[in-house]
Structure 1
Amino acid sequence: MRPVIRQVVPKLHAPEASILGDARRAEPRGEDAHRAFLSRIPAFRAIEQGPPTRPLPWPGSLRIAAFNTERLKDRPAVRHLMSRAGADIALLSEVDLGMARSGNTHNIRDLIAGTGEGYLYGVEFVELDLGDREEIRAHAGEHNACSLHGNAIVSALGLEAPHLIPLEENGLWFSGFKGTQRRIGGRIALAARVSGAPAPLWIVSTHLESKSDSADRRAQIQALLRALDTIAPHEPCVIGGDFNTKALPRGEDDRDLLLSAPERDEPLFADLRDAGFEWQHANLALPTQTPGPTNKHEPPFGKLDWLVVRGLAAANPQVVPARDGEGRAVSDHEMITVDVSFW
């Protein structure tokens, strides 16, 4: 697996068309074949950073939001959600860059345009086609400008010492699912330290795998925690994102278990606890999955999205309905927020 990545660039470039063509024609199975293509794409070895226009001073406490943006197709609606939540820092997953399905734009730059905010962006996957079956049908005949998909952190505060932490790169998506959505890459975490904080404070945006099981998700969290042991040993930290904790109970009668004993069904929480993280004061025992814009999911819905904290006081957790100003669904996940401060 790649080592932790520290290289920062002002712009990530699209993979060479010849590499993507070779990958599409390659046998779509085998970790060695996948790893060879991953090593040929420079975008997997750097973090794109756009600093804020005038970084804000330390505000005394932070409101952190985590949100699976569903490709970040609807930038105005996500901007509306971030403003409504009052987020000082937004941890975003499923962020496209140069994908036909979301307008072939630099979505994260569009999102922050005119706000003075800055961002970090790390590539999770290079997409080899237009997306899932519905996206392929809707965008037939179109082409991706960059084919990048990943995680981001957005804030008007300064962010320093960016790190991209690979969590796995076993090529699970290289063959695609149901004949579509072939990808190069693997799940990642994007970490940075907040400039101007009275003590080191790390912010981590991550997205765990959706097509595997609780053991695989645990292995990904363990990879993240090993990296944090080196980057930020025992230092205050917030990790947030779509953990895809699909093994957790979904019935209303079991909701108390979501916060009191999630490790019973998702062992990754035992590892987080051992590393000093807590979630009881940073989350509500409510589902965060939704039907989404296309009625993709049906009830009962799960709690898939989490914020976990270490070395900080957490208060006022909220679930922010992921709807635009007209009440239309923006994503198949709700946004979650929490207020954090030093003790």
Structure 2
Amino acid sequence: MIRHDVPPPPVTLTSPRLDAPSLAERQAILGLPLTLKSFDSAFEAVGALHQVEVSPPPSAAPAGSRSRIVYWNAERLKYLPGSIAMLKAQAADALLLCEVDVGMVRSGNRHTLAELAATLEAGYVFGVEFVELGLGDLREQAAFAGQDNVAGLHGAGLVSRSALGRPAMVRLENSGRWFDGAFHERRVGGRIAMLAEYDLAGGPVLLACVHYESHTDPADRLAQTRVMLDAIDELAPGRPVLIGGDFNTSTFTLPEKRDEAHVAAALAADPQRLTSPESYEPMFALLAERGYDWSGCNVLGAGTQRTRPDGTPTPPFGKIDWFFARGLRCSDPAVIPAVDAAGVAISDHEALAVTIEIA
């Protein structure tokens, strides 16, 4: 039985294609009672939740002394042509991407990461955060009513023309909080960090692409941070590390976020609270204690959220996407507008970029 206070161990089993559940299997899970026992059973049964998909690059690029890395919450990669063009323009050496769909009708039932990698003549690793039992959030349920997902996989990955070694998926929490539909969609899984080694001329660097839970609070983000850092130290002790992710550093608890008057008063007292959340989020103190820096690899005080074409979300926006580095020299951090060639938003998150070399 899966324990809900401790996530399962890191996943290192790899496959060239994940064992995705069929539509009939996903529908059977929907018919289970809304209990933790049902969640445990479904989680254990779905093979895709216990594998990492790996596709090597067509020809591995040689290691350089410095590399440009881009992190982005790609919001399903559903605007794929515009996303490819935006990412290609960055000429990055490696991409860290979360909120990536495989076989979801909302993104064309495509393997979005494989198509992106093929266009860039790169390889990738991919892990499943959630098996989606429905069509997505309320907006997506309305837009794609009556259609079916071919695989229902949603997760995170790394893309590079260089080889990505020793891939692993770390599950940061296994609460089952998305299983019962309380957040208006049914899912099996939990938040993840995707890890892989990336070679620089001075040696390997561990890259980590991270997505924290959105429906939670600073204390839970601290707990997820501890799980992530412990796993990194277990899998790559002493190794230089670059973590890029959506940490959802809202600074508020869920009840506080739902209280508009409380939020307004808090922001009136500290107008920079959302874009400079460090003092409100104890995860930053733990990261500093464990040897990670963020001052040199981020544009500090700059928000990383934006409004989608449908008008959501709305301001005020915060800095919820971050890089954290250990054992690296970071330079030229940037926030990249997540828009297509016509200037239309292709995600509700901006992308981040930084150049790294081994310290």
Worse-matched range after superposition: 216-225 or 19-28: 19-28
SS in structure 2 opposite 1:316?
A: strand
Structure 2 length normalisation: TM-score? Answer: 0.90
Deviation at 1:136, TM superposition (A): 1.0
Superposition deviation, residue 255 in structure 1 = 4.1
Q: Which moved more, 1:187-196 or 1:331-340?
A: 187-196
Deviation at 1:196, TM superposition (A): 5.6
Name stretches of at least 5 consecutive residues in structure 1 with no aligned partner: none
Cα deviation for residue 32 of structure 1 reads: 2.6
- 1:162 counterpart SS class: strand
Structure 2: tracts of 5 or more residues without a match: 1-6, 253-265
- Do 1:93 and 1:207's aligned partners in 2 also have CA atoms closer than 8 Å? yes
Q: 1:186 aligns with which of 183, 190, 198?
A: 190
User: How do residues 1-343 of structure 1 correspond to structure 2 at under 5 angstroms?
Assistant: 1-28=7-34, 30-178=35-183, 180-195=184-199, 197-247=201-251, 254-255=271-272, 262-284=277-299, 285-343=301-359
Distance 1:308 1:242 in 2: 12
User: Deviation digits for residues 26-60 of structure 1, max 9, x if unmatched?
Assistant: 222x3332111100000011100111111111121
Question: Structure 1 residue 197: deviation in Å?
Answer: 4.1
AA aligned to 1:24 is L
How many angstroms apart in 2 are the aligned matches of 1:116 and 1:226? 33
The amino acid that maps onto 1:50 is: S
Tell me if structure 1 keeps the 8 A contact 2:66–2:200: no
Counterpart contact for 1:89–1:154, Cα < 8 Å: yes
Following the alignment from structure 1 to structure 2, what is the Cα–Cα distance between the partners of residues 159 and 301?
A: 34
Aligned residue type for 2:280: D
C-alpha deviation, 1:307, in angstroms:
0.6
What displacement does 1:296 show?
1.2
Number of residue pairs the alignment of both structures matches? 339
CA contact (8 A) 1:162 1:190 kept: yes
Q: Distance in 1 between matches of 2:121 and 2:234?
A: 32
User: Which deviates the most, 165-174 or 243-252?
Assistant: 243-252
Distance 1:126 1:251, change over 3 A: farther
Task: Identify the range of structure 1 (218-227 vs 248-257) with the bigger mean alpha-carbon deviation.
Answer: 248-257
Matching residue's letter, 2:209:
S
CA contact (8 A) 2:23 2:150 kept: no
C-alpha deviation, 1:111, in angstroms: 1.2
Aligned-residue offset at 1:115: 2.5
| 2:52–2:125 contact (8 Å) kept in structure 1 | yes
**1:293 to partner: Cα distance:** 2.6
| Distance (Å, rounded) in 2 between the aligned partners of 1:150 and 1:12 | 12
Residues 70 and 114 of structure 1, relative CA distance in 2, 3 Å threshold:
closer
Q: Does the aligned pair in 2 maintain the 1:120–1:152 contact within 8 Å?
A: yes
User: CA, structure 1 residues 229+134, in 2 after alignment: closer, same or farther (shift >3 Å)?
Assistant: same
Give the C-alpha shift of residue 149 in structure 1. 0.2
Most deviating of 212-221 and 188-197 = 188-197
Cα distance, 1:177 vs structure 2: 3.7
Structure 1 residues 4 and 149: alpha-carbon distance in aligned structure 2, compared to 1, 3 A threshold: same
AA in 2 matched with 1:48: E
The 3-state SS of whatever aligns with 1:201 is: strand
Secondary structure of the equivalent of 1:226? helix
Local SS of the residue matching 1:192? strand
Q: Which amino acid aligns with 1:211?
A: H
Q: Would you say the 8 A contact 2:88–2:120 is kept in 1? A: no
Q: CA RMSD in A?
A: 1.9
